[in-house]
Amino acid sequence: MPAISPRHLCSIAAALTLTLAAPATTSLADTPDSAALREVLFVGNNWDGTADVIKSTGDFAKIGRINVIPDKDERMAEINADPIKWIYFMAIRNSVGEGHDQFVDDMYATPDGTAMVVSRPSFADVVSIDLATGDINWRFPVSGYRSDHMAVSPDGTRVAVSASTSNTVHVLDIATGEQVGRFATGDKPHENVFSKDGKYIWNMSIGDVNTATDAPWLDWTKGDRRITVVDASTFQQVKVIDMRERLDAIGLDDYSDAVRPAAFSPDESKLYFQVSFFNGFFEYDVATDKITRTKTLPKNPETSEDRTTWVNDSRHHGITMKPDGSKLCVAGTMDDYAVVVDRATLQEGPLVPASKPYWSTVSGDGKACVVSESGADQVTAIDFATGGKLVSVPVGDHPQRVRLARVPADWTGPSAS
């Protein structure tokens, strides 16, 4: 790729500032059959291969459950017949899976609410599952041997999925599963975010999180970690952001530059992001290309300081923002709490005890933060206004990603289940 001048970079940054936003979910008003749909939350139960569907507000009660691995026998036969696939399958189980298979990482609904699209790390694929029957509509094997986080375009027609071991993001037609584009990333692509207008895709690569070289002075062994921004039409790279340079510029050379979950402000000017090993988050100004604030959150005195004991190099993993931009909600994964943070002052509220919270998202009405407690097999809603716990709801084994979605108004589960 030809060198980009500083002046050109500034122009790109200015353009991106006007278009960036948190991943959008198609509103009911944008859906032709919206009257027949209801808003819900999808909860991916990674270790048992199911997704619970719960109410998006109120008591967050369970509505139904979906088996996301109805083809498990067929997939396992393929893996057992291929020594290389079997080696990677077992490596996923014994490293990132903490001794368990990873059957569901991320999931979204199609705009018409008839299907759930799911990335399945251990099967290295993405599938579309018919919500009425539980059958698979289509399957897309990703390049390499593991699929990871996804993002859906603002119009709901495309889904981007990270292929961890091939340093690639595939962009698929959500209705057919056909690939419409792909692009290269840094090592181990993770989080994906579409810009609000759908013109750009941001990908965050996290590098090697399963090695034991976790001391700050060994950070360089973790690989090429960067944010890659591409044109969502041509899939050509328009910008690369290496947080190593930005962290060094403010004297934080001992901090990891592996960007984990992230959330954009409503005015699209700021990015709030977590990095490996850090109990807190950073504020990044898109236009000036600088880290502007650092927020360190409390440590749990019961949490071991041995970094090799932290799951996949995470200390905190999960951050979301109240729709009006006034509050952030952070999952303090290894410190066993979740907390609401005032965005203006960065003052945290009460620490809400939670067992290895792995993700946070916003409720359908925007009044609560919903975190997945992977250590307790439940999701917990926290009031943005008070920072206090509202309710916990049991789900399946090891919940991780939680996403807003829409399903038919009378749906209670696949007819075949």
CA atoms within 13 Å, Cβ hemisphere of 98? 12
Confidence of residue 34 (pLDDT cuts 50, 70, 90): low
The predicted structure's pLDDT at residue 245: 94
Confidence of residue 210 (pLDDT cuts 50, 70, 90): confident
Nearest to 43 by CA among 135, 109, 125: 109
Long-range pairs of 263-266 with CB within 8 A, sequence gap ≥ 24: 263/22, 263/319, 263/320, 263/321, 263/328, 264/20, 264/21, 264/22, 264/193, 264/321, 265/321, 265/325, 265/343, 266/21, 266/22, 266/321, 266/323, 266/324, 266/325
Nearest to 38 by CA among 3, 69, 63: 63
Lowest average pLDDT, out of 10-24, 80-94, 139-153, goes to: 10-24
Kindly state the average pLDDT of the residues 182-201. Answer: 96
pLDDT at 181 over 90: yes
The predicted structure's pLDDT at residue 229: 97
Share of the chain above pLDDT 70, in %: 91
Beta bridge partners of 264: 271
Give the tens place of pLDDT for each residue, 364-394: 999 999 999 999 999 999 999 999 999 999 9
Give me the sign of the Cα torsion angle 17, 23, 26, 29.
Answer: negative
Kindly state the average pLDDT of the residues 255-262. Answer: 95
Beta bridge partners of 115: 130
Share of the chain above pLDDT 90, in %: 88
Confidence of residue 2 (pLDDT cuts 50, 70, 90): very low
Confidence of residue 111 (pLDDT cuts 50, 70, 90): very high
CA 178 to chain centre: 22
286 and 238 in contact (C-beta within 8 Å)?
no
pLDDT at 261 over 90: yes
Angle formed by the axes of helices 72-80 and 83-94, nearest 10°: 110
* Amino acid in the structure at residue 344: A
Could you give the strand order of the β-sheet that contains 115-120, starting from the edge strand earlier in sequence?
A: 106-109, 115-120, 125-130, 136-141
Residue linked to tokens 């090695």: 211
Average pLDDT, the chain: 92
CA 272 – CA 318 distance, rounded (Å): 11
Q: Which two tokens stand for residue 232?
A: 């969502």
Kindly state the average pLDDT of the residues 198-209. Answer: 95
Give the tens place of pLDDT for each residue, 280-326: 999 999 999 999 999 999 999 999 999 999 989 999 999 999 999 99
The predicted structure's pLDDT at residue 268: 86
Radius of gyration over alpha carbons of the chain, in Å?
A: 20
Domains of the chain (ranges; CATH) run 6-294 (2.130.10.10)
380 and 417 in contact (C-beta within 8 Å)?
no
The CA–CA distances, whole Å, from 168 to 23, 82, 185 equal 20, 22, 6
pLDDT at 5 over 50: no
19 and 8 in contact (C-beta within 8 Å)?
no
For residues 11 and 48, the model is more confident at 48
Kindly state the average pLDDT of the residues 214-243. Answer: 95
The predicted structure's pLDDT at residue 26: 36
pLDDT at 134 over 90: yes
Phi, psi of 78 (to 5 degrees): -65, -45
